[in-house]
Structure formats: C-alpha cells, structure tokens
C-alpha cells in the first residue's frame, strides 16, 4: 500500500474509536455543568490563582484553577488514556479527536495547530474555540499516541480567558505528562513504537490502515511557545462579543469556512508533505491566478512553494 493510501481510516475503525469512549473531551466540555451559575452572569477578568486536583463525574482526575470570580465553570486541565482498536500514529488519532470535537459541540473553530514535544513524544497541539450546550469556551488539546494507546490532555477555560492561563499551563503540563507516560518518547532517545515502522507492516495487509510514518524529521515546538489567543478578552456571556461575530474572514470578505480552518489545512499539508515526502502539486487555478491543491478529503487548499503548516490558512 502506498503512503498516500494511508490517509484514510476505515469507517469501522473511525466509528469504533469515536464511540468507545467520550473521554476527556466530554469531561472537559461539560465541566461547567457542575457549577452553580447565576441567571445573569457578569463577565470578569479572571486571574489565575491556585491549582488543585479534583475528580470529575466520570471518575477522571483533573487540575482546576480556583477563582473567587463568578464564572460559568472553573478552568481546568484534564487528561485521558484509551486503548485503540488498531495501531495509529498521532496524525491518525488527531483526526479522530477532531471528529469527536465536531460531534460534541454546536460550534467549533480550530485556529492554531502545530507539532510539540511532550516528554519526547510527538504531540499535535490544537487550540480552538467552541460552543457546547449554549456555553462558549476555549480549549487547547495535546494529542499523543504510542501506537496502541491514545492520550489526550485538554485545558478548557471560559471564552476569552484562555490567554490568562498560558504561563500556568506550561508549568503544570510536565506533572501531567509524567503521569501519562512511563518513559520518554523517541524524540528524546526512547524506543520507537514498532507499529510506527514500515517493517512491522510488511505482510500485514489484512490488519487495516498502517500506522507507519516518518516521525524522525519532525520539527517540534515547546507547548504553547509564542501562543497567541485571537479571542483574548472576549466576554464569555455574549454581552459584548460572541463566537460567531468574532470569527475572522478567510480573506476578501469570504465568511469563515470550517473546511478550511487551521486543523483541516494543517492536517492535509502534513499528510501530503510528510507521508509522501514531497509538496503537493497545484491542481486548480482561479480567475485571479491563485493556485490551489486538492487535499485527501477533496478540499481545495491555497498552494505555495514553501509551506509553514503552523500558520494554517
């Protein structure tokens, strides 16, 4: 099977992963339901204070930030581990997690995605804003797999407040990472999961979509390095701003299009460049002479000779 053919998980595998467990995403997204919320909330400038360990209703551990301000939910860092129905690399698993996000939110805007390193493990860092059961919020996900197991860490905060916690998150991430991973990953000299190698998949054509991938050439950032929150300072109760009115145009007055958000564009470029070993060729040209290429989902993406996947569209 060609590497280009590895882009697509079978429908059965996708449904198995999506439906086995809602995991950290549901726990984080619904955290605010456990709070007592006034019928007329007053937006505030939340100040990060003390972090403490709690247990969610789903029995998962979390680190939450105590605040004396009236907020719809406490900002918190959640984490989750799950066995995978078939081996996956981080790109494959990130696609599943993104699908879960879409299913669990009425609105979702992914605005920043990049590779980071967590204790030597390559991780997809995804920042987004969303609305769940009428409540707007912001979040950052770190998505990792060791081949047979998937790991997700998620920080969620009221809409407009994420930027206030970036420095604190960076300080507590190592504590959570040390709980998730028994040993450092291959980026720090740890063993490479055998299912990430082409040799493992030789003669295993009936197992599903191979998880082999070229991880050794990754350029990773420190988590949340140079992070910019485009929604910083927005009011979480919608009195002065809301998620949809805050959405940027994709250019030339064209409304926001979720098919061209940062995650979908980044994912398509990563597959085309990293797994095929080459930049995609332009496949379409508009009336103004702009070049585009068709991603694995059929979506057209702006083409350039030199890509920086961290920038998105």
- pLDDT, residue 70, reads 75
Q: What is the number of other CB atoms lying within 10 angstroms of the CB of residue 248?
A: 10
- pLDDT, residue 73, reads 84
- pLDDT, residue 269, reads 72
Above pLDDT 90, what percent of the chain? 27
pLDDT bucket at 66, cuts 50 / 70 / 90 = confident
- Taken in order of first residue, the domains within the chain and their CATH numbers are 3-247 (3.40.1000.10), 258-313 (no CATH)
Distances (CA, A) of 181 to 121, 126, 188: 9, 20, 13
Between 20 and 104, the higher pLDDT residue: 104
- pLDDT, residue 195, reads 93
- pLDDT, residue 138, reads 93
pLDDT bucket at 29, cuts 50 / 70 / 90 = very low
pLDDT bucket at 153, cuts 50 / 70 / 90 = very high
Between 135 and 32, the higher pLDDT residue: 135
pLDDT bucket at 201, cuts 50 / 70 / 90 = confident
Measured between alpha carbons, how far is 7 from 12 in angstroms, rounded to an integer?
A: 15
DSSP the chain: --GGGGG---HHHHHHHHHH--HHHHHHHTGGGGS---SS----------EEEEE-TTS-EEEEE--SS--SS--EEEEEEEE-SS---HHHHHHHHHHHHHHH-SEEEEEEEEEEEETTEEEEEEEEEEEETTEEEEEEEEEEE-SSEEEEEEEEEETT-GGGGHHHHHHHHHHHHHHH-SS--GGGTPPPPGGGSHHHHTT-TTS-S------TT---BPTTTT---TTTT--TTSSS--TTTTPPPSBTTBPP-GGGSHHHHHHHHHIIIIITSSPPPP-EE-TT--EEEE-TTS-EEE--SS--GGG--
- Mean pLDDT score, 113-139: 92
Measured between alpha carbons, how far is 205 from 212 in angstroms, rounded to an integer?
A: 13
- pLDDT, residue 281, reads 64
pLDDT bucket at 226, cuts 50 / 70 / 90 = very high
- pLDDT, residue 234, reads 83
**237-278, pLDDT tens digit by residue?**
766 556 766 665 444 554 555 655 778 777 777 766 654 545
- Mean pLDDT score, 152-159: 92
Query: Which residues have a Cβ under 8 Å from the Cβ of 26 and sit 6 or more positions away?
Result: 58, 104
- Mean pLDDT score, 13-25: 38
- pLDDT, residue 51, reads 81
Q: Mean pLDDT, the chain, as a whole number?
A: 73
- pLDDT, residue 239, reads 64
- Mean pLDDT score, 25-49: 39
- pLDDT, residue 311, reads 40
Model's pTM, two decimal places? 0.74
**74-91, pLDDT tens digit by residue?**
889 998 899 998 899 999
Cross-strand pairs, 136: 131
Measured between alpha carbons, how far is 225 from 85 in angstroms, rounded to an integer?
A: 33
Measured between alpha carbons, how far is 271 from 267 in angstroms, rounded to an integer?
A: 6
């Amino acid at each position: 099977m060609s590497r280009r053919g590895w882009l697509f998980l079978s429908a059965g595998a996708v449904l198995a992963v999506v439906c086995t467990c809602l995991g950290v995403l549901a726990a984080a997204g619904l955290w605010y339901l456990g709070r007592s919320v006034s019928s007329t909330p007053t937006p505030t400038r939340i100040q990060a204070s003390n972090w403490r360990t709690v247990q969610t209703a789903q029995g998962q551990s979390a680190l939450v930030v105590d605040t004396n301000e009236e907020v719809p939910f406490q900002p918190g860092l959640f984490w989750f581990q799950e066995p995978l129905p078939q081996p996956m690399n981080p790109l494959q698993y990130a696609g599943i997690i993104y699908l879960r996000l879409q299913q669990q939110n009425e609105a979702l805007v992914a605005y920043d995605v990049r590779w980071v390193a967590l204790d030597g493990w390559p991780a997809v860092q995804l920042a987004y804003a969303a609305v769940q059961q009428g409540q707007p919020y912001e979040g950052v996900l770190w998505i990792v797999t060791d081949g047979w197991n998937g790991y997700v860490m998620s920080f969620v905060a009221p809409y407009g407040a994420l930027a206030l916690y970036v420095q604190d998150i960076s300080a507590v991430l190592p504590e959570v990472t040390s709980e998730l991973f028994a040993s450092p990953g291959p980026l720090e000299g740890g063993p490479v999961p055998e299912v990430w190698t082409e040799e493992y998949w030789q003669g295993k054509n009936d197992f599903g979509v191979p998880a082999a991938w070229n991880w050794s050439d990754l350029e990773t950032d420190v988590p949340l390095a140079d992070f910019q929150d485009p929604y910083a300072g927005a009011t979480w109760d919608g009195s002065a701003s809301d998620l949809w009115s805050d959405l940027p145009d994709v250019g030339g007055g064209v409304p926001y299009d979720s098919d061209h958000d940062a995650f979908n564009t980044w994912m398509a470029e990563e597959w085309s460049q990293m797994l095929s070993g080459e930049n995609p060729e332009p496949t379409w040209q508009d009336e103004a002479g702009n070049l585009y290429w068709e991603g694995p989902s059929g979506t057209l993406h702006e083409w350039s000779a030199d890509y920086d996947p961290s920038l998105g569209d």
